[in-house]
Structure 1
Amino acid sequence: MVHLSVVHGDITTMRVDAVVNAANNAMRGGGGVDGAIHRAGGPAVLADCIEKFPHGLATGDAGATVAGNLPATWVIHTVGPNCRAGERDRSLLVSCYRRSLEVADELGAKTLAFPLVSAGIYGWPKDDAIAVAVETIASSTAGVDEATLVAFDADTHRRLVAAVAR
């Protein structure tokens, strides 16, 4: 069973085996969490994305690259559904967390840091994004020991803490 915790902070500073990146389909960097991870990780992250995922990833899927200059060992990139663009299938968001945990198992990663996938610029309703993250991670049978949900702002942190406590 995965132990789930919550922190208020910057995912690029997390000292874990793998950080999960809320990526776009192209896997070439972007804004929000994706841009922050690519900037902090440096060119090695992008180079590995291009090599391993020349055609990107489908929504709901996940794949791993090196972490470059990040304190983590790997980056697990997952492509969340873009609610603002009409992608509203909740199972795709569930798949992001499930696939990320499966990739972590393949890597042998025991500690993960997750952002709240799709809840930023992709516009997924925050309360549902929180519910999906907590329910999917908490019910996982992955070999991951510790999953940390990293909240960038105080309101999201408060809401995540409340959800995990339930």
Structure 2
Amino acid sequence: MTHSDSFSSRRRQQGAARTLLLIGVVVLVAVLAAGAGGYFYFMKGHSGSAQAAEQPPPKPTFVKVDPMTVNLSGDSRVLYIGLSLAVANQATADTLTAHMPEVRNRMLITLSDQSADALTSASGKREIAKTLRETLRKPYEKDGKPVAIKNVLFTDFIVQ
């Protein structure tokens, strides 16, 4: 073996060693990146969902409207009605409670325009609930915002 053969053999060995070293470094970086990604996914992701799971959903807020009797349109029949209003938050509940005489007045006027036949069917009850929700959502103060009423829930509903 000549000196040049030995030198080229040594160069090939050094080149192979460098290639192996480069592959090792790339694999090490990939493993570290995967480990960091896994850490953030599992630790940060689970801690966020754990915090969300620990907080119970907000309790619903309702405003009770005392029952009232209303003369219906077209005949001598009456409606005895009681309901609760599902509202967005406590501030909305406070607004409605403070304006309860006006709430009841709006209900009375709206309901007195109804006929007994229209109110006795399930679809009639759904329709009057929708109408009441829209009527009661209107602002109670000049230049006020609409009131966040989610739903009208009947607690008493008797047509006689």
- TM-score, normalised with respect to structure 2: 0.27
User: If each structure's helix is expressed as a fraction of its own residues, which one has the higher value?
Assistant: 2
Higher normalized contact order (CA 8 Å, seq sep 6+, divided by chain length): 1
- TM-score, normalised with respect to structure 1: 0.26
Computing the radius of gyration from Cα coordinates, the structure with the larger value is 2
